[in-house]
Amino acid sequence: MNSDTIKIMVIDDQAVVRQGFVALINTVSDMAVVAEGTNGRQAIDLYRLHRPDVTLMDLRMPELGGVEAIAAIRKEFPDARLIVLTTYDGDEDIYRSLQAGAQGYLLKDMFFEELEEAIRKVHGGSRRIPTQVAERLAERMGTSDLTGRETEVLEQIVAGHSNKTIAARLNISEATVKSHINSILSKLGVSDRTQAATTALQRGLVHLR
């Protein structure tokens, strides 16, 4: 490895996926994987140890997710360059990742040439967000944000709970639940609870546990 080699860290809890990326990256003459991990906590520790030029980060991982790890790394190392690699294209996932400090967002079904190009762009200080991902982000920016309480109610709706159960779980009145639901429907541009639940999952506003 010489001084011109782009040092890369790969963080993904799926071994086959992670090893596949590592093998492909190591075939590029001026790139080398210097560290790999399986969760966000490892990502932070490994970043401190290896100081990679570019980090590839999955979103959904045990112990600590990608968004939280990105935020922690960028707080400690403001110049860190990170690319999200994920199977999810929900606009809320994209938004949270970029807000946390990621400079790139790629879906795992892309061609390797796209990944190589993204690594070079981000390493050079640019952002790399594919057109379809940028479109999803634009859609998200055009909608009103849900409040924290509305998000809690939406999570309960996705879980299939009735207004009465939601009221009991959140320690609020049924009338307040109905008020929150009306606001949620309006902000999401949907007409009923089923559509709200579907939209929430599609956009990454709520994740199934």
Number of domains in the chain: 2
Note the pLDDT tens digit of each residue in 18-56: 999 999 999 999 999 999 999 999 999 999 999 999 999
Domain that holds residue 40: 6-140
Do 133 and 159 fall within a single domain?
Answer: no
Q: Check residue 166 and report its DSSP letter.
A: H
Task: Answer whether residue 74 is part of any domain.
Answer: yes
Q: Which helix (H) or strand (E) holds 94?
A: helix 91-100
Structure token pair of residue 88: 């999810």
Q: Check residue 2 and report its DSSP letter.
A: -
- Domain boundary residue, one of 121, 140, 159: 140
Is the pTM higher than 0.75? The answer reads no
Instruction: Return mean pLDDT, the chain.
Output: 87
- Domain boundary residue, one of 140, 157, 187: 140
Do 76 and 109 fall within a single domain?
Answer: yes
CATH number of residue 134's parent domain: 3.40.50.2300
- On whether the CB atoms of residues 31 and 56 are closer than 8 A, the answer is no
Do 130 and 28 fall within a single domain?
Answer: yes
Neighbour tally for 16: CB within 10 Å: 7
